Amino acid sequence: MEPLDISKLKYVLFDWDNTLAESRPALVAAVNKVLAAYNLPDWEISKEKRDCNLSFKDNFANVFGKQNAEAAYEQYREIYKELVPTRIASFPYAQKVLDFFAAHNVRMMIVTNKERCLIEYELPLLYDKNLFCNIVCGHEAKADKPHKEHALYALKDYISEKEISPQNVWVIGDSPQDSLMAERINALPIRINQSIWGDESDNSNKMIHFSGFQKLYETLISGKE
Per-residue pLDDT of 27-44, as tens digits, reads 999 999 999 999 999 999
Residue 142 counted as domain residue: yes
Q: Can you give the pLDDT at residue 193? A: 82
Chain centroid, CA 111 distance in Å: 6
What lies within 8 Å, CB to CB, of 131 at 6+ separation is 98, 102, 108
Residue 5 counted as domain residue: no
Q: Can you give the pLDDT at residue 4? A: 87
Q: What is the pTM of this model?
A: 0.92
Please say if the pLDDT value at position 3 is more than 60. yes
Residue 55 counted as domain residue: yes
Q: Are residues 46 and 97 in the same domain?
A: no
Q: Are residues 52 and 102 in the same domain?
A: no
Q: Are residues 72 and 119 in the same domain?
A: no
Transcribe the chain into DSSP letters. -PPPP-TT--EEEEPTBTTTBB-HHHHHHHHHHHHHHTT---HHHHGGG--TTS-TTTTHHHHH-HHHHHHHHHHHHHHHHHHHHHH-BPPTTHHHHHHHHHHTT-EEEEE-SS-HHHHHHHHHHHS-GGGEEEEE-TTSSSS-TTSHHHHHHHHTTT--GGG--TTTEEEEESSHHHHHHHHHTTPEEEEESS-SSS------SS-EEESSHHHHHHHHHHTT-
Give yes or no for a contact between 224 and 9, defined as CB atoms under 8 angstroms apart.
Answer: no
- Mean pLDDT value across residues 9-13: 98
Residue 42's domain comprises: 24-87
- Mean pLDDT value across residues 129-141: 97
Q: Are residues 213 and 132 in the same domain?
A: yes
Q: Are residues 74 and 100 in the same domain?
A: no
Please say if the pLDDT value at position 45 is more than 90. yes
Q: What is the CATH number of the domain that holds 186?
A: 3.40.50.1000
Q: Are residues 208 and 140 in the same domain?
A: yes
Share of the chain above pLDDT 70, in %: 93
Q: Can you give the pLDDT at residue 205? A: 66
Please say if the pLDDT value at position 198 is more than 80. no
